[in-house]
Structure 1
Amino acid sequence: STGAKTNADLSAAVALKAMTKGGKFSNAANEEGAVKAAAVSAVNKVLGVLDFIIRKTVSSNLDKIREAVKGIKYSESTGEATESGDAQPTTK
């Protein structure tokens, strides 16, 4: 996860550097197309890293939920849930 944070920071820095304070792309040396392409690429990298981080976090939490649910037995006749085994639901 350290690499993901570093990549996100780097991509964000490149994207922000490509834009000026007013939110418009800089036009240094009439290379507007190249600057826009670099900014778009940087933003896409940031979005890709964020997507990866979100998916990893959701997957990890779903695994925890699956393990907690495995330890719960539900009885339809009584309508009550009881825990069994070592799996314990966690709340954070």
Structure 2
Amino acid sequence: MFVRIVKLSFHEEHIPAFLENFELMKDKIRNAPGNRFLELYQDKNNKSIFFTYSYWETEADLENYRNSELFYDVWTFTKRLFNDKPEAWSVDKLVTLV
């Protein structure tokens, strides 16, 4: 399993539209084959910056999602709202303390 972290930066006036669309799509994303976890974070100091964290069983699962109609719909809507280029990282989780 690995973690995908995506940094998203929006024009302030587009934040409500992003959040509304995320609310509509989050269960579909979370239920994509191979997705095991999904969270959305907002930066405490810059309210225009958000991060998504998603856990994927395999890299192929993430790639299948990224090539899906669902991703196309989510990304086509979301990218119109950006005020900066998104950034993404795929990382392996090494330690979890609970």
Normalised TM-score (structure 2): 0.25
Is the radius of gyration larger for structure 1 or structure 2? 1
- Higher strand fraction (1 or 2): 2
Structure having greater relative contact order (Cα 8 Å, sep ≥ 6): 2
Normalised TM-score (structure 1): 0.27
